[in-house]
Amino acid sequence: MAQVFGPKANTLARLSLLGAFGGAALFMIALVIYSRSPYPAFIQKSPDQPVPFSHQLHAGGLKIDCRYCHAGVEVSAAASVPATQTCMTCHSQIKTDSAALAPVRDSWATGQPVAWNRVHDLGDFAYFNHSIHVAKGVGCSTCHGQVDQMAKVQQVEPLTMGWCLDCHRAPEQYIRPADQVFNMEWVPPADQTEQGLKLIQEYNIQVSRLTNCSICHR
């Protein structure tokens, strides 16, 4: 009777077994590497907004301070997007016929809020408080990038836990003097580490506590 399996069948069997296990292992490793990389977290997220608000114009060109609109950033956990009333403080008189501003005018007239699409979105399992970061010398551009040069807000940092921990473990690399917090053009000086350590003393930052799980995972 003819053999069903030829002499190469053994080799084939062994190779395919190794290949299967090896392939599975490689796949798992690839998956882990991919999920820990920045790509799946934010993929350069920049959703469209109902109103094409340009930070480049308002914050960059007109030099309106961040806090004029994001008023809660120094006192509250949420930086807060401005109310329609804030937009209307200028746009009741400037560009009153602009089609791009129609949703703002409609909101003002009808009392329905403008539905902005969130760009920087942490998971609901993580608690983030803006006011403490601003108070302790973390600048806006450190996490949000140079917003005053963005025509459309784009997320430039991954905002993953690992990325947050990079700073929480070594805040001296990232913090800046209080008067520079809202300065979008600030770059860390050459002696950032030394300056940073001084600032840690000055702001009374307890670095050992920054890696406590429950400061974010309440």
Sign of the Cα pseudo-torsion (211, 216, 217, 218, in order) = positive
Q: Which of residues 45-104 bind another protein (CB under 8 A)?
A: 47, 71-72, 75-78, 80-86
Nearer to another protein by Cβ, of 14 and 118: the residue is 118
Q: How far is the CB of 119 from another protein (least distance, A)?
A: 9
Q: What is the CA radius of gyration of the chain?
A: 25
Residue 170: half-sphere exposure toward Cβ, Cα within 13 Å: 7
Nearer to another protein by Cβ, of 6 and 111: the residue is 111
When binding is defined by CB under 8 A, the residue of 23, 113, 162, 189 that contacts another protein is 113
- Asked whether the beta carbons of 69 and 140 are under 8 A apart, the reply is no
When binding is defined by CB under 8 A, the residue of 22, 23, 40, 61 that contacts another protein is 40
Which tokens belong to 179?
Answer: 């008067």
Nearer to another protein by Cβ, of 150 and 199: the residue is 150
The residue among 199, 206, 128, 195 whose CA lies nearest residue 164 is 128
When binding is defined by CB under 8 A, the residue of 89, 112, 173, 211 that contacts another protein is 112
Q: How far is the CB of 118 from another protein (least distance, A)?
A: 4
Which tokens belong to 8?
Answer: 């190469």
Nearer to another protein by Cβ, of 91 and 198: the residue is 91
Q: In whole angstroms, what is the distance from residue 159 CA to residue 52 CA?
A: 24
Number of residues forming the site for another protein (CB under 8 A): 30
Which tokens belong to 53?
Answer: 């608000």
The footprint of another protein (CB under 8 A) covers 35, 40-41, 43, 47, 71-72, 75-78, 80-86, 107-108, 111-118, 121, 123
